[in-house]
Amino acid sequence: MSDRVRESAFRICESGPAALAGLYDLTSQRLVRYSLSITRHQHDAEDAVQAALLRVANRPRQLARSEHPWPYLVRMVRNESLVILRRRGRTTSADLSDLVTRVSVDEAEWEETYRAVWRGIRSLPIEQGEVVVLKIWESMTFAEIGNVLGVPSSTAASRYRYAMEKLSRALEGVAGPTDPSESSGRGTEGRSGIGRGTR
């Protein structure tokens, strides 16, 4: 993913902000999904991603020359999400429709599992919820997560372990997979629905 992000950043360097659309198409759904774990609100998550991408448009070389462009971009979105959270002054719960969009009939049996997973993530402390999203959906190592969050990898691993214990308890009795990682929809952006239809 980092190589593709770097290529998009270099295209912005060469062609200007008009080339930002390529980076947006590549990353926006995933970034909105991550931001939701912090802001807990769809519109705020979209605003955080827009703000981060605008910063990239103004200074694309910083992203292009980063050693690890994808974690660097995720960290930018995290910073923007925290700014919005501080400006808002409090954490509000997202409507369920903000987190899970409609699924087709043949996927209906999975919908309640996705809803349950995201209800569980919303119930976690932000510092634990964001680790779950980065680990399960983005398949980041704990070292990479620690780099994004500015904490040691051992701290990231500890937060993940505590979060998964809580989620496993929350998902007991839910139809379908009880392991959140089995409900992640990795590699199938449309299935989880998180971030679909962003601006």
Residue located via tokens 């705020």: 44
Among 58, 88, 118, the domain boundary falls at: 88
Among 24, 57, 88, the domain boundary falls at: 88
Number of domains in the chain: 2
Q: Are residues 81 and 108 in the same domain?
A: no
CB neighbour list of residue 97: distance below 8 Å, 6 or more residues apart: none
- pLDDT tens for 144-187 read 999 999 999 999 999 999 999 888 887 775 545 445 555 555 44
> What's the rounded mean pLDDT across residues 42-48?
91
CATH of the domain at 184: 1.10.10.10
Statement: residue 97 has pLDDT above 80? no
Q: Are residues 78 and 152 in the same domain?
A: no
Q: Are residues 69 and 146 in the same domain?
A: no
Q: What's the chain's length in residues?
A: 199
Cα separation, 118 vs 139, in Å, equals: 18
Cα separation, 30 vs 27, in Å, equals: 6
Q: Are residues 127 and 80 in the same domain?
A: no
Cα separation, 179 vs 186, in Å, equals: 13
Cα separation, 10 vs 44, in Å, equals: 28
46 inside domain: yes
Token couple for 3: 């190589």
Cα separation, 22 vs 64, in Å, equals: 14
40 inside domain: yes
Token couple for 82: 């925290």
Range of the domain at 149: 103-192
- pLDDT tens for 102-156 read 444 445 555 666 777 778 888 889 999 999 999 988 889 999 999 999 999 999 9
**Average pLDDT score, the chain:** 79
Backbone angles phi, psi at 113, to 5 degrees: -65, -45
93 inside domain: no
More confident: 1 or 91: 1
* Contact predicate 176/113, CB 8 Å: yes
CATH of the domain at 38: 1.10.1740
